[in-house]
């Protein structure tokens, strides 16, 4: 059991070492130049600076372990074993395997996009004027008056409305009961189907659609789950009203939402800018293609989904996002600009 545990720990440590030699995108990281040699494995060396950099890339909780000199020795042992394994794999040609080369190509592309596009474009795609213009055009999204959410039983006869009110106020906290009363009494076809639900509305909106009396009754209630104390008469209809929620007025300044708007615009503009940047590179490259040969491609093990089921990756379908055949991955994730 102890031997199995030690072997398992070795594989975990090797995984950490291998991941430590790569940057966040997976590409092979460059070694710190110069420095004292801590160990040598054939023609390769591990320097003090490299060893220190590897440790400092670890999770902070793991990093704390290396205050113990014995842990540092174990870490160096594992780095040496990792290098021995890598050199052996190279000698056997595994670094030339198609899947390995594909991953290397993908990592290289990702690194180049991060450095040559995202880092250079992140501060220029969205200007302060763009943010201000968006805020002005969407002011209603950031400055909203108070609103309430209610459910209402709409009845044309006062006697039925009184009966519905009596039942509703017997158990005002019982939302399911109120929904049942809507089905039992409500004569409004539209709201009857949704349990009497009138979505969040401002006082002006409720007044325009249902009358001032209903707006006053809705905004007069304070406690969520409260049922109006009396039947409300508005525009020739009687209402029993239950308060579902209250939303206080919202007022957010440009400074408060600047970062949010900038990130939103960046995502939108980044896609267009990336397509142009990539398109220009393709146009400047010597590309030849023979699409007629695509008909000769044989797909092994393919299956047609049953009628009515969308293809994987298609709108409404299940399965992975369609991938770029060269990159073997979706378009690289966007890195939003930092700061305001």
Domain ranges of the chain: 2-94, 146-248
Q: What mean pLDDT do residues 29-46 have? A: 79
Per the model's pLDDT, the better-predicted residue between 322 and 166 turns out to be 166
CB 236 within 8 A of CB 155: no
- Residue 179: CB atoms within 10 A of its CB come to 17
Q: Using CA atoms, how far apart are residues 85 and 63, in angstroms rounded to an integer?
A: 24
Segment 304-329 mean pLDDT: 50
pLDDT of residue 333: 47
CATH of 146-248, one of 3.50.30.10, 3.10.50.40, 3.40.50.10540, 3.30.365.10: 3.10.50.40
pTM for this model (two decimals) = 0.51
CA distance 305 to 232: 56
Q: In this predicted model, which residue has the larger pLDDT, 314 or 157?
A: 157
Find the mean pLDDT for residues 24-45. Answer: 69
Which of 1-5, 151-155, 229-233 is predicted least confidently?
Answer: 1-5
What is the rounded average pLDDT for all residues in the chain? 83
Residue 155 is inside which H or E element, if any?
strand 147-155
Residue 59 banded pLDDT, cuts 50, 70, 90: confident
Per-residue pLDDT of 222-274, as tens digits, reads: 999 999 999 999 999 999 999 999 999 999 999 999 999 999 999 889 999 99
Least confident among 64-73, 104-113, 211-220: 64-73
Mean pLDDT of 166-188: 94
pLDDT on residue 114: 93
Taking the CB of residue 142, how many other CB atoms lie within 10 A of it?
Answer: 16
Given a cut of 60, whether residue 28 has pLDDT beyond it is no
- For the chain, what percent of residues have pLDDT higher than 70? 79
Q: What is the pLDDT of residues 139-148, one digit of tens each?
A: 999 999 999 9
pLDDT at 336 over 90: no
Q: What are phi and psi of 222, to 5 degrees?
A: -115, -35
pLDDT for 177 equals 95
Angstrom distance (rounded) from CA 17 to CA 41: 15
Residue in the block written with tokens 């996009």: 113
Residue 183 in 3-state DSSP? helix
pLDDT for residue 270: 92
- Long-range CB pairs of 66-70, under 8 A, 24+ apart, other chains included: none
């Amino acid at each position: 059991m102890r031997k199995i545990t030690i072997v398992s720990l070795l594989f975990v440590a090797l995984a950490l070492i291998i991941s430590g030699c790569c940057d966040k995108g997976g590409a092979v990281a460059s070694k710190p130049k110069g420095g004292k040699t801590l160990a040598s494995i054939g023609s390769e060396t591990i320097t003090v600076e490299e060893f220190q950099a590897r440790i400092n890339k670890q999770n902070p909780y793991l990093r704390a372990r290396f205050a113990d000199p014995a842990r540092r020795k174990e870490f160096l042992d594992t780095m040496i074993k990792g290098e021995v394994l890598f050199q052996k794999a190279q000698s056997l040609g595994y670094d030339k395997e198609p899947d390995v080369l594909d991953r290397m190509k993908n990592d290289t592309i990702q690194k180049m996009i991060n450095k040559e596009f995202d880092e250079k474009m992140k501060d220029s795609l969205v200007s302060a004027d763009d943010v201000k213009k968006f805020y002005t055009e969407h002011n209603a999204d950031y400055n909203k008056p108070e609103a309430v959410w209610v459910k209402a039983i709409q009845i044309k006869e006062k006697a039925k409305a009184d009966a519905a009110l009596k039942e509703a106020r017997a158990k005002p906290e019982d939302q399911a009961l109120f929904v049942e009363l809507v089905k039992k009494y409500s004569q409004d076809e539209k709201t009857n189907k949704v349990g009497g639900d009138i979505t969040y509305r401002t006082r002006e909106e409720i007044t325009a659609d249902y009358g001032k009396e209903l707006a006053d009754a809705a905004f007069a209630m304070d406690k969520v789950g409260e049922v109006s104390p009396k039947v409300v008469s508005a525009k020739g209809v009687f209402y029993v009203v239950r308060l579902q929620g209250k939303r206080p007025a919202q007022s957010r300044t440009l400074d408060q939402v600047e970062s949010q708007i900038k990130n939103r615009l960046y995502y939108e503009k980044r896609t267009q800018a990336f397509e142009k940047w990539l398109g220009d590179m393709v146009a400047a490259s010597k590309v030849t293609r023979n699409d007629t040969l695509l008909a000769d491609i044989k797909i092994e093990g393919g299956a047609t989904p049953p009628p009515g089921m969308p293809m994987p990756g298609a709108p409404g379908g299940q399965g992975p996002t369609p991938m770029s055949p060269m990159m073997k991955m979706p378009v690289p994730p966007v890195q939003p600009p930092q700061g305001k």
